[in-house]
Amino acid sequence: MKAFIAILSGLLLCSCADMYVTRSQVNGGRVAAPVDAKDFGSRVRMITANCGVGAYGPSAIYIRPFCIDTAVFTGDQAQSEGEYPIRKALAPIEFAQDLKEQLEKIAPARILRSNEIPRVGWLVDGQFTLVDGGNPGGRALPGQFGIGQSRLAVRVRVTEVKSGIVLYEFDMVGGSDLQGKLGTVRASGLGRAIHFDLQNAAERVYLTLSTNPYRYGARANVSLPE
């Protein structure tokens, strides 16, 4: 029995509510001009190699609320079915606000209105593919076995504004996982899960685009003893 409890506790600790990158594509931080493949002898042909070094250090970050029109929007999202369309329409705004709070750790960030176009820096946009609030009732007792869990799937795109080149593009998926009725700082428990999932997703975007967000390996001393 003690062994079973230990295994169960380990599963709960390892199955924290979070978002994970499932697929990513990276383009270099230095951009080459478009080239006609047939024009091998052209003197204006420009090819710039950056040895696989990724883009970093944007002067500013602009966030366009993600598309949600084609996303599956289901589960516990609102008090009534009549409120569903409003919750769906406001989810991209909430996520944009969460993203702004996180990405400001990298560079000054701003949410764009529909008629605004950035001129410098990075543009972060994308689309929701699944927003499932799960079932709080299912998370009440057997929720720690995955019943009633929430689910969020998002595609993120980071574009260099001046060149129009997509620097990074990645898919994320996650949710409440095996968090039960008590919840955690990252999971809602019996509450509405979408707010936690959007916060977790925004934080994962920041962590993904940062070099060393946890400051691993940072030292207080200038040099190490021999």
Name all domains of the chain by residue range, CATH numbers in brackets: 16-29+51-209 (3.40.50)
As a whole-number percent, the residues of the chain with pLDDT over 70 amount to 73
Core vs surface per residue 168-204: b (16+ CB within 10 A) or e: bbbbbbbbbbbbbbebeebbbbbebbbebbbbbbbbb
Q: Is the pLDDT of residue 75 over 90?
A: no
Q: Which residue has the higher pLDDT, 140 or 171?
A: 171
Q: What is the per-residue pLDDT across 110-150, written as a single tens digit (0 to 9) for each?
A: 999 999 999 999 999 999 999 998 877 777 776 566 677 88
Single out the residue of 30, 55, 22 nearest to residue 158, CA to CA.
55
Q: Give the separation between CA 153 and CA 166, rounded to whole angstroms.
A: 20
